[in-house]
Chain A
Amino acid sequence: MIGFVKKVVRNRLAGLGLVVLFGIILLAILTPLLPLAPPNAIDTPNRFVLPFSDNALLGTDHLGRDLLSRLLWGTQLSLAVGLAAAFIAGFFGALLGIVAGYMGGRTDSLIMRSVDILMAFPYILLALAIVAALGPGLMNALIAVAVVNIPFFARNVRGVAVTLAQADFIQSARLSGRSDISILVFELLPNVASVIIIAFSTTVGWMILETAGLSFLGLGSQPPQADLGSMLGEGRAALITNPHTSIIPGIMIFLIVMGINLLGDGIRDALDPRLAKGRLEKPSPLTRVGDGLIQSPPIDSTASKAVMDVNHLSTNFEVSEVVNKAVRDVSFSISSGECLGLVGESGSGKSVTALSLTRLVASPPGVVVSGSVRISDQELISLPYEGIRAIRGRRVAYIFQDPLTSLHPLHRIGHQLTEAMSTHSRGADSVFVERAKNLLSEVRIPNPERVMDAYPHELSGGMRQRIGIAMALANDPDLIIADEPTTALDVTVQAQILTILNDLRQQRGLSILFISHDLNVMAQICDRVAVMYAGEIVEMGRAPDILEHPKHPYTAALLACSPQIGQGRQSLQPITGMPPTGHEPLNACAFANRCSRVQPVCQQQPVEIIDMDSQLVRCLFPVVES
């Protein structure tokens, strides 16, 4: 409980709301004990005394009644009525919701149909109709407001109860022969409690406003008894001459409702992290670059034939004080027409590396802390936004893993393709459309005309990934970064996609950075392979060398646990243990704890990458085949 309160108050605004609300509630409770003038004592000679007068701190109203006294008594009444309405609505709403969700079938549809009909009214109409029938009065207003809010609770609670009713623990309780009542109270209720509390915190402010509103209209509390709403209603008659009689109760309502809203936000965030929308961070269009960025001196670009040179690139994820080093000091280069594979298990930093190249890592939390990424003569890491934007999609294009989530679901395929072109060059739409159709045929999409008008959800996974490839090709880029382009696809489609990529490479002389966790896929398409582990490159060299004669124990272990087609029966050996987390600096070989060849010295210092027979290896005791 204390933990929960702490969680709520951690949100400073919620803490403020709590303080304001607590203060007001305390005042309301203490009202009978305070030395106040009687709230209904009429003293017409002293009407409309201004606030801060001697005998009346907040002045008097049109009948000379003390406003401070009326305000506090009115606050007490408004809070009591609002809360009572909220409890009644919450109780009956939750009851209906639980019963509907648990019983299902006809009971459910009968209850929910009625709820739907009640919700088809703008809320005040129903409240007005109820008050019209029962007659004006505070109790009747309370009933009206409570009834109007029952559907909201019923619907929210029912939504959760329906799922819970199918859950295993409820089913087993049913099978064990326990009574429905006992299951409802002891099993279901505790599990929907958080939903009820969230719904309560959302609506209680509204209910206080609504009861105040009905009183304001003269349909709630009847004179001389006053709640905040009727005080406002009475003040309205003297609004022009004596606005203080309206301002005082108005501000009190405002403070109460604001306090509840602030506190309610805090409670929702604390109870349901998924709803903590206020905390969602917007990723900026460029990954932030660390303050003390260390960059290597420029390489002589004429000497290098590389399409892209990456040197000492490091990217962190920084969430408040916690730093996770996702990419550590990665260097590689890709020559023209070459396909470099980046392989490693999940969390090894390969995708973050790929996204860091054009600073697409979501930021916050991503930060590029060091390194340089160069394409021909341009340094991307220090380039301002507009410069990077001109390169993205134009010179460096991406293909992402899951084409269903990476294509815009509400834009037509044709539009997504032509947009890629029109972003970087001017031209007539018809030209772009024509080019888009050609691209679609190039990635072997039958019937490009029809596909242009389709939405992503209308196509198969393989088709969607071809669209992804076509989009990457749109501006004839120097380099394509394919981030696990085949992972989300089944094996036959995988093969088709690989063939398309391979053909395009040959026809267009494309350079590709190909990222995958699948060594078999690597073998089919890559010239060179870099193996990543715990954010570092641990081995890099020609693909056949690496895949057939791995020198790093990790690469060897990785090969030993991936099945190879056509190799007959093999025993697959899993790698035991877990990779290190990125929180600590590496003071040892990152793989040491899982390595079969580990020596004491491996645990004592970080290991440098060394050149061994034109293969780069980060190991003190590399595998040497006899």
Chain B
Amino acid sequence: MLRYIVRRLISMIPVLIGITAIVFLIMSLIPGDPATAILGSYATPENVANLNAKLGLDKPLVQRYFIWLGNLAQGDFGRSFSLNRPVLDEILERFNATLILSGTAYLLCSFLGVLAGIFSASRQYEISDKLITFVVLIGISVPSFFLGMMLIVFFTVQLRWLPASGMFSIYGGGDFVDLIRHLIMPALALSFVATGVIARLSRSTMLEVLRLEYIRTARAKGVKEFRVVTRHAFRSAVVTILPVLGLQAGFVLSGSVYIEIVFQWPGIGRMLVDAILTRDILLVQGGVVFVAFCYVFFNLAVDVLQLWLDPRITRK
């Protein structure tokens, strides 16, 4: 087990380096001169040249990449010119908010999706199955940002139950209850699509497993049907569902960009969109690399969990 983890960690190194290379390469496509962008069009040529030298932009591309990579390795993501503070500080602060939102939505969609899938499969063609299938179809077809906006229209404008923006109330908020009240709508909107995808997959996986011979064996043993579904069939289905759950983390993270905009959630997604619009390259670069790294490590964790759940892999 430990050896597997170490091996996987080592094999991740090229992927991580590849990520930084791709991000750096894409960013270097930007036409024009960042120094001009920072200083504005009235800057004198000397000022631009000075700033370029200061930022290291006068060096060749490859050299600049390795300098940036070396700094990254030391935890130095550079300085955001639009916010005038270290990129990493900004990212860490924002990441907290993203983690709260995405994490909640992710737990929600994993739990609800798998549950709905199992329930639906064990009641195939009954009315509850059809209802779930219908809701799931809506789930995978509705844009999350549109759903978020409709939630606001309904729960904030019509019913006046929940706040529509931010993470905390500006006046008198800040406690846990306040956070939850702000979290409900964005988390629901964000998890809905992924719930649909997971429910669909769980249902079809369960239906496949329920036809296998060892399920017949369990029934021939006289095992109660509830247990056949929950212990025998689900135990095997998990092994198929889990890798997709890992991939869904990427979809939830992606969706969080839209949801953060709709609900003005102070997370990384909003930061990235703002940074793109202000052309704050180091902030975009740092944010993308940071989140991509988190995602890679998360999927490593999923793989390890998979290994633990499926003893057939270990011995290979």
Contact = CB atoms under 8 A, between A and B. Distances in A.
Contact of A423 (B18, B28, B224): B224
A433 interface: no
A285 B233 CA distance: 13
B220 A125 contact: no
A205 interface: yes
A128 B257 contact: yes
Interface stretch (A26-34, A388-396, A584-592): A388-396
Among A121, A135, A240, A398, chain B packs the most CB atoms within 10 A around the CB of A121
Interface stretch (B39-47, B55-63, B65-73, B134-142): B134-142
B221 interface: yes
Given A123-B254, A277-B204, A209 B211 contact: no
Interface size grouping (class) on chain B? 35 or more
A424 B146 contact: no
B26 A136 contact: no
Interface string B263-300: 00000010011011101010011001001100110010
B124 interface: yes
Contacts of A424: 222
B301 interface: no
Interface string B138-170: 101111011001101100110000001000000
Interface stretch (A156-164, A305-313, A399-407, A610-618): A399-407
A622 interface: no
A135 B312 CA distance: 49
Nearest to A232: B146
B150 to A, nearest CB: 7
B270 to A, nearest CB: 10
B219 A360 contact: yes
Contacts of B254: 122-125
A391 B153 CA distance: 57
Among A232, A391, A409, chain B packs the most CB atoms within 10 A around the CB of A409
B223 interface: yes
Among A132, A213, A236, A240, chain B packs the most CB atoms within 10 A around the CB of A132
A120 interface: yes
Given A132-B276, A391-B222, A394-B222, A409 B214 contact: yes
Contacts of A246: 146, 149, 153
Given A400-B217, A409-B312, A423 B29 contact: no
A247 interface: yes
B273 A409 contact: no
Contacts of A277: 204, 207-208
B258 interface: yes
A257 B212 CA distance: 34
B220 A117 contact: no
Contacts of B83: none
Interface stretch (A175-183, A216-224, A504-512): A216-224
Given A394-B222, A400-B217, A411-B235, A133 B141 contact: no
A597 interface: no
Contacts of B143: 209, 212-213, 216, 232, 250, 253-254, 257
Interface in B219-235: 219-225, 228, 232, 235
A282 B258 contact: no
A250 B122 CA distance: 34
B262 A236 contact: yes
A213 B310 contact: no
Nearest to B207: A280
B163 to A, nearest CB: 13
Nearest to A275: B204
Contacts of B225: 285, 385, 389
Contact of B219 (A258, A262, A285, A397): A285
A281 interface: yes
B250 A457 contact: no
Contacts, number: 238
A216 B284 contact: no
B211 A389 contact: no
Given A261-B140, A283-B211, A120 B19 contact: yes
A455 B236 CA distance: 14
Contacts of A280: 204, 207-208, 211
Interface residues of A, number: 80
Nearest to A277: B204
A383 interface: no
A314 interface: no
Contacts of A392: 219-222
B213 A117 contact: no
| Dominant SS among interface residues on chain A | helix
Given A285-B219, A358-B220, A400-B213, A261 B137 contact: yes
A390 B235 contact: no
Nearest to B281: A132
B310 A410 contact: yes
Interface in A244-285: 246-247, 250, 253-254, 257-258, 261-262, 277-278, 280-283, 285
Contact of A250 (B150, B213, B235, B251): B150
A217 B257 CA distance: 9
Interface in B15-35: 15, 18-19, 22-23, 26-31
Interface in A567-585: none
A196 interface: no
A240 B151 CA distance: 11
Contacts of B288: 121, 125-126, 128-129
A442 interface: no
Interface string B99-129: 0000000000000000000000110100000
A362 B211 contact: yes
A266 to B, nearest CB: 13
A332 B52 CA distance: 95
A239 B208 contact: no
Contacts of B141: 205, 254, 257-258, 261
B221 A285 contact: no
B242 interface: no
B11 to A, nearest CB: 10
B218 interface: yes
Contacts of A116: 15
A205 B137 CA distance: 13
Nearest to B210: A282
B14 interface: yes
A471 B310 contact: no
B217 A120 contact: no
A217 to B, nearest CB: 5
28 contacts: A117-B15, A117-B22, A120-B292, A122-B249, A122-B250, A122-B253, A125-B291, A125-B292, A126-B22, A128-B288, A132-B26, A133-B30, A213-B145, A219-B277, A240-B157, A243-B153, A254-B141, A277-B208, A278-B204, A282-B122, A282-B211, A360-B216, A406-B216, A408-B217, A410-B312, A420-B222, A423-B221, A457-B312
Nearest 10 interchain pairs by C-beta: A124-B254, A393-B222, A277-B204, A117-B18, A250-B146, A258-B141, A122-B250, A392-B222, A393-B221, A280-B207
Interface of A: 113-114, 116-118, 120-126, 128-136, 205, 209, 212-213, 216-219, 232, 235-236, 239-240, 243, 246-247, 250, 253-254, 257-258, 261-262, 277-278, 280-283, 285, 358, 360, 362, 385, 389-394, 397-398, 400, 402, 405-411, 419-420, 423-424, 455, 457-458, 471
Given A129-B285, A280-B204, A385-B225, 14 more contacts: A117-B18, A123-B251, A133-B30, A136-B276, A217-B261, A232-B145, A236-B149, A247-B153, A282-B207, A285-B225, A389-B222, A394-B222, A405-B213, A406-B216
